[in-house]
Chains A and B, each alone.
Chain A
Amino acid sequence: MTADIKSSNSDKDLKVGVFICRCGGNISDMVDIDKLKDSIDLDVVEEFVNLCSINGRKIIRDKVINENLDRVIIAACSPMTHEKTFQDYIKPLNPYLMDMVNLREQCSWVHENIEEATEKAICLINASIGKVKQSQAVDPITCQSPESAIVIGGGISGISAALSLGKQGIKTYLIEKTPSIGGNMVKIGKVFSPVRLAEECGMCLINPVMNELIWNPNVTIMTNTKVLSAERRVGIFNILLERSPRYVDSDKCISCGNCSDVCPIEVLDSWNDNLSTKKAIYRPFSQSFPDAYTIDIENCKKCGNCIKKCSMNAIHLNSENELIPINVGAVIIATGHEIFDPKLRPEYGYEKYEDVITQSELGRIMGVNGPTKGKLKMQSSNRVPKRIVMIQCVGSRDEKPDGHKYCSKVCCMVALKNANIIKNKYPDTDVLICYTDMRTPGMYEKYYKHGQENGIRLMRGRPGEISKKGNSLIVNVENTLKKEFMEIETDMIVLSVAIEPSEGTKEIAKIFDIGLTEDMFIKEIHPKIKPVTTDVKGTYVCGTAQGPNDITDSIVQANAASAKIAELLHDGLEVEPFIGEIDFEKCNLCKDCIDSCRYKAISTKDDEIFIDPLSCSGCGKCLTVCKSNAINIQGNISEKIFATIDGMLKGKKDWEQRILVFLDHVGYTAADNIGVNRIEYPKSIYIIKVHSINRVMPKHIIYALKNGVNGVFIGEYPGDLMYDEVEKRIKNMKQKIKEYGFNPERLQFSTVYIPYFTGLARKFKEFDTKIKNL
């Protein structure tokens, strides 16, 4: 087999310098530095007690300049510790023309025999010399996104995110599909403060924020607007918006309301959860923004009464949709939530009995700007209920069809809040919360206790059905703590229904090609350490589009998302240049590569395949699916692997065993950890660091086996996006190896975890023994 090493003539002329670090004895105590130096057949071979110091820099820089070095090898500690340092020390040489040999974590710290460690060091440096000759000077790719962002959704999350972006000087479009920003928070009436143990007016809290937003010169608020399509190009999102008309010119309208008085049409007011009516020309709520009326065109019968009445000439019944293209550098998804449809649990009689309502409806009833102006009344009889039973977890923690497995997180607090408000105003009304578990973490626990002191009653049990006896409703529930079956008579029942992903969230995810969780919320790329970051570069999520969240958590996420965007837009982006490139001459536009890419980096643009450098990880998957060989990745990665294999096998004696271990960033760090903890493993283990495990091809493994390697060990972290891919490929590789006449057992695939370095060391030993016995 012919390896595709490009050993051009110029290779030989390249001037390579080797710098060996003693690391204050850490290396030189185990590696015979003189012997090592003698073994290297190059003009420039230097040693120093600690190369990373300022003096070390002087030595390196002087040699690079005075000796006109083309390539540099630093034989010292792990590249994980000091690669960036030495890339800087070799200036003016291109940073990618330097290679580090890990003499400390992967040699002197893992071996206990000077002779063996020295032999290994010689071999590692040899491999590096071969490899560094294959490297090319490449420049990091820098991208500059436009200093602008779009925030989709005008609820508390979107408002907070847009305001934060605007204040950081980023041009921001806040898009809201309804006629006003404000979202759910303006509807819920009162919000609770766990610290002050009191309920506060939600509108009064959000209003100043809305005002600040409206006056921020960097923020453009677009209501009645939705996203039609979006396309992503190197840090730029080309977005097409569609604005539907409000039929009232918001610049002219003075919100006098005269039009509404003469409008003959009455429709249910969804802002009041359909508990009251509004006119076809209406203002969503009194502090709505834009500060103008709007027409519900579906119900308007175009009588023209309002037009005649409007002294400002603001009404135009024949307005049309408008398409608006914008370009932005980043996206925040704040598309909010919907609530579980209580009709899906007929056992709770939501449709059957007027006095079975949801917490949201109760919120409107208790709101001073709501249908009853804040008076608590039964729907059926207009009197104050003597007892209210609240049922928790309706549609949450529920594995039945249409239910949600997750906990909606806010319902315990919402129930306590509404119960407290009732208790404050109507102390004689008995409020009983039937719960499965009360979940009030942190400070919220204090609010829970406050509620108990306020006379809220709690019963542990999940009611199974509701019926009617005379004028009362009956709740069937087991008091599970008393182990007693109860039939509780009540006037009113309030269902704490689940928070669920909104249709808008699902639509936006589709438009931007963003992944969803199994529950259909926007997925974070790593919920533990990369919250608010989605799987599409440059897009972030906040609020209930991400999952059930309360107001405070939503605002925290909004601010986090805006900080991530500031980071992205202000810093510019420097990406490693080892990414996919398309050869347009060869590409036949079969598009096979598009779906193969796990990083969603490939798309088509003007009838050409386009790889987004910001998203491409350089994993090389696309290379393997492209039948026309039209994709290449800079940096001679394949050649470097061949050269390294050559170097590592140099001088191998017949009786000697050598095993190549391929590890990516995570695996390599785990291997370094073995050294840091001074755990010994066989000298036969030779570790090669690769950018992505996916770049190790069958041809490399077969080349190694043909040239005398005894075993190949491939490690991958199971959390890696490419893990399944690699696992699948290993099977094929084993087959291939067999075809070439080698025992497939010589190839081993294994999981690696950074903290589980002891396991990795043990696997090295076991594999070494296994190979010996083959």
Chain B
Amino acid sequence: MSVQIENNPLKFARKILSDLRASEDMGLLKCVQCGMCTSTCPGAKNSDYNPRGMVEKVLEGEESIISDEEIWNCFYCYTCHSVCPVGNNPCEINQILRGIAIDKGIANDKVGSFAGYGDSFLTIGIGAMPKSFFMELNEDIEGWLDFKSKLEEIREELGLGSITISNESIEEINTLLKKVGFNKRIEELKK
């Protein structure tokens, strides 16, 4: 690989550091490539994902990491952050990289199926599991569907209020979300 004179590899790392989601004291530039993160990462244990390798690519300015399939194997467990001796946060870096991938529209296959979550904000005013996941969940958790359908009754019995939001509030949430372009973004993801 030839490294051109005007090519400063750290540009990419600085872009990540200045992302809204990056914690202010993230030790990205202090990474010593010790691999402690990888050695504790459940993602690394079960796939070819390598948080240290991801950080290395970021520090070398290899933006190709954005389209790397492996970054989608992070569990967001933050173990890497808790062990990193220099206060780096591979988990956060991963989130930022995924964000960039989504913005670029190259991750729709990864997140499109979750777009239903977004829809629920528009339709019922809160984040809720899309119907398409119901059957799968019912297989994993016995009696889940039953629980789901009787939720309001159970809540009443427990003396808890309803989780349904008034139409007026849903209207208001809709207006807000439309103003910030939320619905457009959801539509994009579905493409």
**70-105 of chain B: CB within 8 A of chain A:** 79, 83-87
A465/B86 in contact, CB under 8 A: no
Q: Given A399-B27, A478-B52, do A462 and B36 touch, yes or no (CB 8 Å)? A: yes
Cα–Cα, bound, A347→B53 (Å):
22
Q: Which of A437, A464, A479 is the one whose CB lies under 8 Å from B36?
A: A464
> A647 at interface (Cβ–Cβ under 8 A)?
no
> A476 at interface (Cβ–Cβ under 8 A)?
yes
Q: Which of B44, B45, B53, B85 is the one whose CB lies under 8 Å from A462?
A: B85
Contact with A along B46-57 (1 / 0, CB 8 A): 000010110000
A464/B32 in contact, CB under 8 A: no
> B40 at interface (Cβ–Cβ under 8 A)?
yes
Tell me which of A464, A465, A479 has the highest count of chain B C-beta atoms within 10 A of its own C-beta: A464
Cα–Cα, bound, A400→B80 (Å):
12
B35/A461 in contact, CB under 8 A: yes
Cα–Cα, bound, A465→B80 (Å):
12
Q: Could you tell me the distance in whole angstroms from the C-beta of B35 to the nearest C-beta in chain A?
A: 3
> A393 at interface (Cβ–Cβ under 8 A)?
yes
Contact with B along A336-356 (1 / 0, CB 8 A): 000000000001000000000
Query: Which partner residue on chain A sits nearest B45 by CB separation?
Result: A485
Please list 10 pairs of residues, one from A and one from B, whose beta carbons are closer than 8 Å in the complex, sorted by A's number.
A393-B34, A397-B85, A400-B84, A437-B32, A461-B35, A464-B38, A464-B40, A478-B39, A480-B33, A480-B52
> A483 at interface (Cβ–Cβ under 8 A)?
yes
Cα–Cα, bound, A418→B36 (Å):
24
Q: Could you tell me the distance in whole angstroms from the C-beta of B1 to the nearest C-beta in chain A?
A: 16
Q: Could you tell me the distance in whole angstroms from the C-beta of B77 to the nearest C-beta in chain A?
A: 13
- Chain B residues with Cβ below 8 Å from A461 are 34-36, 39
- Chain A residues with Cβ below 8 Å from B44 are 478, 485
Cα–Cα, bound, A474→B27 (Å):
29
Cα–Cα, bound, A403→B39 (Å):
19
Q: Which 3 interchain pairs have the tightest Cβ spacing?
A: A464-B40, A478-B35, A464-B39
A399/B85 in contact, CB under 8 A: yes
Q: Which of B27, B33, B37, B53 is the one whose CB lies under 8 Å from A464?
A: B37
Q: Could you tell me the distance in whole angstroms from the C-beta of B101 to the nearest C-beta in chain A?
A: 22
Cα–Cα, bound, A479→B86 (Å):
19
Query: Which partner residue on chain B sits nearest A347 by CB separation?
Result: B83
Q: Which of B33, B35, B79, B84 is the one whose CB lies under 8 Å from A477?
A: B35
Cα–Cα, bound, A463→B34 (Å):
9
Query: Which partner residue on chain A sits nearest B40 by CB separation?
Result: A464
Q: Given A403-B85, A478-B52, do A485 and B39 touch, yes or no (CB 8 Å)? A: yes
Tell me which of B27, B50, B83 has the highest count of chain A C-beta atoms within 10 A of its own C-beta: B83
Q: Given A347-B83, A399-B86, A464-B83, do A476 and B32 touch, yes or no (CB 8 Å)? A: no
Q: Could you tell me the distance in whole angstroms from the C-beta of B88 to the nearest C-beta in chain A?
A: 10
Cα–Cα, bound, A630→B87 (Å):
52
- Chain B residues with Cβ below 8 Å from A403 are 85
Query: Which partner residue on chain B sits nearest A459 by CB separation?
Result: B35
A485/B50 in contact, CB under 8 A: yes
B53/A483 in contact, CB under 8 A: yes
A400/B85 in contact, CB under 8 A: yes
Contact with A along B16-40 (1 / 0, CB 8 A): 0000000000010000111111111
> A398 at interface (Cβ–Cβ under 8 A)?
yes
- Chain A residues with Cβ below 8 Å from B53 are 483
Tell me which of B35, B40, B84, B86 has the highest count of chain A C-beta atoms within 10 A of its own C-beta: B35
- Chain B residues with Cβ below 8 Å from A436 are 32, 34
Query: Which partner residue on chain B sits nearest A465 by CB separation?
Result: B40
Q: Could you tell me the distance in whole angstroms from the C-beta of A474 to the nearest C-beta in chain B?
A: 11
Q: Could you tell me the distance in whole angstroms from the C-beta of B80 to the nearest C-beta in chain A?
A: 9
**374-403 of chain A: CB within 8 A of chain B:** 393, 397-400, 403
Q: Could you tell me the distance in whole angstroms from the C-beta of B171 to the nearest C-beta in chain A?
A: 48
Q: Given A399-B86, A485-B50, do A480 and B40 touch, yes or no (CB 8 Å)? A: no
Cα–Cα, bound, A627→B37 (Å):
59
A: interface residue count bin = 20 to 34
Query: Which partner residue on chain B sits nearest A393 by CB separation?
Result: B85
Query: Which partner residue on chain A sits nearest B48 by CB separation?
Result: A485
- Chain B residues with Cβ below 8 Å from A480 are 33-35, 38, 52
Cα–Cα, bound, A399→B86 (Å):
5
B32/A397 in contact, CB under 8 A: yes
Cα–Cα, bound, A678→B119 (Å):
77
Q: Could you tell me the distance in whole angstroms from the C-beta of B83 to the nearest C-beta in chain A?
A: 5
Cα–Cα, bound, A399→B81 (Å):
12
- Chain A residues with Cβ below 8 Å from B85 are 393, 397-400, 403, 462
Cα–Cα, bound, A400→B27 (Å):
12
B86/A485 in contact, CB under 8 A: no
Cα–Cα, bound, A440→B52 (Å):
25
Q: Could you tell me the distance in whole angstroms from the C-beta of B94 to the nearest C-beta in chain A?
A: 16
- Chain B residues with Cβ below 8 Å from A347 are 40, 83
- Chain A residues with Cβ below 8 Å from B87 are 399-400
- Chain A residues with Cβ below 8 Å from B34 are 393, 436, 461-462, 480
17 extra A-B contacts, CB within 8 A, seeds A397-B32, A399-B86, A478-B38:
A399-B85, A400-B84, A400-B87, A436-B32, A436-B34, A461-B34, A462-B34, A462-B36, A462-B85, A464-B40, A477-B39, A478-B35, A478-B36, A480-B38, A483-B50, A485-B38, A485-B50
**126-163 of chain B: CB within 8 A of chain A:** none
Q: Could you tell me the distance in whole angstroms from the C-beta of B102 to the nearest C-beta in chain A?
A: 27
Query: Which partner residue on chain B sits nearest A485 by CB separation?
Result: B44
Q: Could you tell me the distance in whole angstroms from the C-beta of B44 to the nearest C-beta in chain A?
A: 5
- Chain B residues with Cβ below 8 Å from A476 are 39-40
Query: Which partner residue on chain B sits nearest A395 by CB separation?
Result: B85
- Chain A residues with Cβ below 8 Å from B84 are 400
- Chain B residues with Cβ below 8 Å from A399 are 27, 85-87
Cα–Cα, bound, A464→B36 (Å):
5
Query: Which partner residue on chain A sits nearest B85 by CB separation?
Result: A398
Q: Which of A437, A463, A483 is the one whose CB lies under 8 Å from B39?
A: A463
Cα–Cα, bound, A393→B34 (Å):
11
Q: Could you tell me the distance in whole angstroms from the C-beta of A483 to the nearest C-beta in chain B?
A: 6
Cα–Cα, bound, A734→B186 (Å):
59
Cα–Cα, bound, A461→B38 (Å):
9
Query: Which partner residue on chain A sits nearest B51 by CB separation?
Result: A478
Cα–Cα, bound, A213→B95 (Å):
64
Contact with B along A481-493 (1 / 0, CB 8 A): 0010100000000
Contact with B along A460-473 (1 / 0, CB 8 A): 11111100000000
Cα–Cα, bound, A400→B87 (Å):
7
Cα–Cα, bound, A420→B184 (Å):
66
Query: Which partner residue on chain A sits nearest B88 by CB separation?
Result: A399
Q: Could you tell me the distance in whole angstroms from the C-beta of A399 to the nearest C-beta in chain B?
A: 5
Cα–Cα, bound, A462→B32 (Å):
10
Cα–Cα, bound, A702→B184 (Å):
68
Cα–Cα, bound, A477→B36 (Å):
7
- Chain B residues with Cβ below 8 Å from A437 are 32
Contact with B along A428-470 (1 / 0, CB 8 A): 0000000011000000000000000000000011111100000
- Chain B residues with Cβ below 8 Å from A465 are 39-40
Q: Could you tell me the distance in whole angstroms from the C-beta of A79 to the nearest C-beta in chain B?
A: 47
Cα–Cα, bound, A540→B69 (Å):
59
- Chain B residues with Cβ below 8 Å from A483 are 50, 53
